Structure 1
Amino acid sequence: MTRLTRRGFLGTSALAAAGLAAGCGGSEETSGSSGSSGGGGSGTLEWADHFSSFQKLNDDWAAEQSSALGASVKHTYYDASKAGQAFQLAHQAKKMPDVYSNVVGLPLAALVGGKWVHELKLSAETKAKIPQNGLTEGITTLDKKLYGFPLFSFRQSSTLVWMNKDHLDRAGLDPDSPPTDYAGFKDACRKLSAAGVKPLTLALGADGGRVRDQVDDLAQAAGFPGYQGLKFATGEYAYHDDSYVTVVEFLKELYDSKYMLPGTNNLSVVDARTRYAAGAVGIFVDGIWCAGGSKALVPTFVDKIAFGPILTPTSGAKPWTYRGRPGATWFVSPDSRDPEKATRLIESLMTEEYQKGMIAAMDQPPLNLDLVAGSDAIDAYKKAVTFCKDNVFLMPQAIVKNPEVAKVDAQRKPITPHVGNIVQGYLGGSIKNLRNELRKLSDASEADREQAMTKAKSSGAKVSEDDYVFADWKPGADYGG
């Protein structure tokens, strides 16, 4: 079992486990009920997720919905590094929570086939609140049946630059003029170090999932014309492209220059963010949810947070990245004893009251980004949302072009070592030839897609390599083909 990060189900048509959210970090404490007692007893709904920023919001919402639904709603928060395993064990025991977040790590077809999910039957009122193209066959629906509920905008990033205003002031740096390219970033790190501040930390440790996401993002910003190693125009895997090499060499330079906090190579998302919120470093590379995650850890730290964009190799380059259509955020378990009330709980998350609570919590932005500008969120979060709104574009997807690609996805297998593992090995010195390892990953990814396609075809799927080719794709724009 591999864990799906925040961004993972933002509509990828490759192996879902290769990607988002994201891996959302927070404290390792749980709220609400403890353990994976799911399936809800009589009159009880179990609701579990991995959104650290939403812990209080969801605890409070559970209490409110207990009255509205006439059932005791119990909310549990799991650290993202533990959620996947917890859900796997609960699934084996047929005691899944009634409602749970998308952190399992399987494509929708596999979730349906493996009896992980229950069909959702939404009211007309709720459907009307979901933007056009918010529900997609193979991503949130399968055979025209809805299984996954989207809640977040695809215009988000896991690779933004978050800074500590106090440390920047100490180093003579202006938080309103953050670094935008590699040279500027290294200069900022140098000045922070000279001022006695440890410059930087990232989540390089654990399973390497977060740094994998971030290298994929940085490669796009460095000019890679695709997503997770797959080129849009040709449909070929090219992790060994110059853009990936450039990004990993940049991280290696930061690591060798000792700009990273000691122990960074072992830090999980929660560990790294905890160091940042505690003031141990000047800069933390994290997702758009960093402000909310930091607030959950150290509420008084929020006013010190400053925002910087995803970095590009050269000054003046466009920091463009690409994501797929909104993926599922919430599922109802087939173990639920009351799937109707479980669905109503999910529907309640589209109310104005909950949406405002989401924005105040400053996690992933809602489907309607226009709600953020007039909210009470801090300025740094608003800047991050605006940046993503302007620089994150809708990508072409094989599964949208041909929904039967879902049958290929269901046959895909996790590839290891993945990009994050390669970064870990290269920074640590166990990998000497970076491009060679990346080329091996390209070849392994291609071979896995081929075996998955062969199996899908043998089962009657009408798919081909052409489903992955988008010769009309253009950078810096939403794909509408």
Structure 2
Amino acid sequence: MTGMTRRSLLGASVLAAVGAATGCSSSTDKAGSTSGGATGTLDWWDHFSSFKRLNDDWAKTQSPSLKTNITHTYYDASKATQAFQLAHQANKMPDVYSNVIGLPLPALVSGKWVHEVTIPADVLSKLPKDALTEGITRLDGKLYGFPMFSFRQSSTLVWVNKDHWSKAGLDPGNVPTDYAAFKDALGKLKSAGIQPLTLAIGADGGRIRDQVDDLAQAAGFPGYQGLQFTTGEYAYHHDAYVTVIEFLKELNDDKLIMPGSNNFGVVDARTRYASGAVGTFIDGIWCAGGSKALAPTIVDKLASGKVLVPTQGMDAWCYRGRPAATYFVSADSKNPEAAGQLIASFMSDDYQKGMIEAMDQPPLNLDLVASSNAVDAYKKGVDFCKSNVFLMPQAIVKNPAIAKVDAQRKPVTPHVGNIVQGYLGGSIKDLKAELKKLSDATAADRAKAFQKAKASGAKVAEDDYVFSDWKPGQDYGAAK
């Protein structure tokens, strides 16, 4: 899952911390091959829990064909960023790693995180026209990041346990879509003695931040991550954000959210859902695969619903940018050619089928999902995203030089997720004022980044963020 923010390091010795981070994985977390004829090694790290078995097996099957001993290591998403940062500081990055760092591509290149990746032309020809974008996967014409997933996805679908919902007299095949009906359903679960809902509100707040961004779009916010498409202005204090967070507060105050959720990371919350301890969980399209990895018996109990909207009849429209990089080749790699070959192998039919059946983020080609062996709840989620998630306008697509601005941007905290934590916990009293501070701080950070980029010669303007011709409910500027 992409878009996580940088986490601060813990102040420990970098070499000692890297040793702890990489050494704590059990033998079951690694897979490799010692096939005869192999020359050299290739380390591959990622944070995709749903793909763990697929990737373990793929490392074994690709080792002979690449004549390289491939070792695959999985990291929990909540630990991956720190592990990768420490490894980078120690010059011990794996050859291939997933995009979890949270830095824009120019910063990854200038910070010597990435190596140019070479992909055969026949593999590149399989990608949609919008898949490779200057400033996102390419920089100065060079390919640095390889995308694997469709942008038509969401982190904020409603997942329910069919047994629990049926016990409460609810129809798991018809999950309510508006706030009032959803809250009423949670109340019925509670009355039936079932813990109604959990959310991943805790850890660094990254997941609930992403979900509030989604919910705000569905509530009518005309932009992404606080940035309004038509004006280019930051407006986290928009009524849509206030409406969403006030609704979460209402659910929390009415004790419809599982106690402890304010401290739950993604795996903590999903484990409660997968184990049957809770009736409802708001999670991404990848929930089916992630839950199966935690508790295989949950698969037969999975049902899914749409992104929630404030009032019945509203369109649950969301917007996403062009596909981000999924995998990089590390600048530390001693075998970048083999690393590129491994990444290219992910576009093979066998791996693509494995991705879909693992039920994580959907692949670039969503047409493969309908005929797959994925469960109906996953297919239903993909169908929703195909119809309701649209390509958004992006300054970096309008003007690739914006990459030089992005390279100067800094994480702004407290972000939306932190504000939700504080508001639900009671430490924040004036929600709109706090959101206005975030709008102002984010705008100031961008203005400072603009100054630095222009001073270095970048041809950029504030108008690069303004898309007055944007219209809701349709793809913006998609390649024909």
Q: Same fold (TM over 0.5)?
A: yes
Q: Distance in 2 between matches of 1:457 and 1:308?
A: 46
| Equivalent pair of 1:232/1:473 in contact (CA under 8 Å) | yes
| Equivalent pair of 1:29/1:79 in contact (CA under 8 Å) | no
Tell me what 2:142 maps to: 145
Q: Does 1:70 align with 2:67?
A: yes
Q: Does 1:219 align with 2:216?
A: yes
Tell me what 1:383 maps to: 380
Query: Aligned-pair distance for 1:7?
Result: 3.8
Query: Aligned-pair distance for 1:305?
Result: 0.5
Q: Distance in 1 between matches of 2:156 and 2:234?
A: 22
Q: Does 1:274 align with 2:274?
A: no
Percent of matched pairs sharing the same residue: 71
Q: 1:355 to 1:300 in 2, by over 3 A?
A: same
| Equivalent pair of 1:32/1:74 in contact (CA under 8 Å) | no
Tell me what 1:38 maps to: none
Find 1:440's aligned residue among 437, 456, 460. 437
SS at match of 2:146: coil
Counting only pairs closer than 5 Å after superposition, residues 40-79 of structure 1 correspond to structure 2 as 43-79=40-76
Tell me what 1:402 maps to: 399
Find 1:207's aligned residue among 194, 204, 208. 204
Q: Distance in 1 between matches of 2:134 and 2:426?
A: 43
Tell me what 1:25 maps to: none
Cα shift readout 1:328-357 (whole Å, capped 9, x = no counterpart)? 000001111110001000000000000000
Question: Unmatched 5+ residue regions in structure 1?
Answer: 1-5, 10-15, 19-27, 35-40
Cα shift readout 1:292-335 (whole Å, capped 9, x = no counterpart)? 00000001110100001000000000000000000100000111
Tell me what 1:24 maps to: none
Find 1:110's aligned residue among 107, 112, 118. 107
Tell me what 2:21 maps to: none
Find 1:350's aligned residue among 342, 347, 350. 347
SS at match of 2:468: coil
Counting only pairs closer than 5 Å after superposition, residues 85-96 of structure 1 correspond to structure 2 as 85-96=82-93
Tell me what 2:3 maps to: 8
SS at match of 1:133: coil
Q: Distance in 2 between matches of 1:258 and 1:51?
A: 32
Letter in 1 for 2:381: A
Q: Does 1:458 align with 2:458?
A: no
* Structure 1 residue runs of 4 or more that deviate by more than 3 Å after TM superposition: 28-34
Query: Aligned-pair distance for 1:176?
Result: 1.3
Letter in 2 for 1:8: G
Q: Does 1:297 align with 2:305?
A: no
Q: 1:29 to 1:186 in 2, by over 3 A?
A: farther
Q: 1:147 to 1:105 in 2, by over 3 A?
A: same
Q: 1:479 to 1:337 in 2, by over 3 A?
A: same
Residues matched between the structures, number: 455
| Equivalent pair of 1:31/1:55 in contact (CA under 8 Å) | no
Find 1:189's aligned residue among 175, 186, 189. 186
Find 1:131's aligned residue among 102, 111, 128. 128
Query: Aligned-pair distance for 1:17?
Result: 6.1
SS at match of 1:138: coil
Query: Aligned-pair distance for 1:32?
Result: 4.1
Query: Aligned-pair distance for 1:133?
Result: 1.5
Counting only pairs closer than 5 Å after superposition, residues 464-479 of structure 1 correspond to structure 2 as 464-479=461-476
Counting only pairs closer than 5 Å after superposition, residues 162-173 of structure 1 correspond to structure 2 as 162-173=159-170
| Equivalent pair of 2:2/2:326 in contact (CA under 8 Å) | no
Tell me what 2:10 maps to: none
CA-atom RMSD in angstroms? 1.4
Tell me what 1:333 maps to: 330
Tell me what 2:34 maps to: none
| Equivalent pair of 1:7/1:158 in contact (CA under 8 Å) | no
SS at match of 1:285: strand
Cα shift readout 1:228-259 (whole Å, capped 9, x = no counterpart)? 00000000000000000000000000000000
Tell me what 2:410 maps to: 413
Letter in 1 for 2:71: K
| Equivalent pair of 1:31/1:59 in contact (CA under 8 Å) | no
Q: Distance in 2 between matches of 1:7 and 1:168?
A: 31
Q: Distance in 2 between matches of 1:384 and 1:199?
A: 21
Tell me what 2:35 maps to: none
Cα shift readout 1:207-234 (whole Å, capped 9, x = no counterpart)? 0000000000000000000000000000
Q: Distance in 2 between matches of 1:29 and 1:215?
A: 35
Q: Distance in 2 between matches of 1:454 and 1:299?
A: 52
Q: Distance in 1 between matches of 2:30 and 2:158?
A: 34
Letter in 2 for 1:65: Q
Query: Aligned-pair distance for 1:31?
Result: 4.3
Q: Distance in 1 between matches of 2:188 and 2:27?
A: 39
Q: Distance in 2 between matches of 1:222 and 1:176?
A: 23
Q: Normalising by structure 2, report the TM-score.
A: 0.93
Q: Normalising by structure 1, report the TM-score.
A: 0.93
Find 1:312's aligned residue among 304, 309, 312. 309
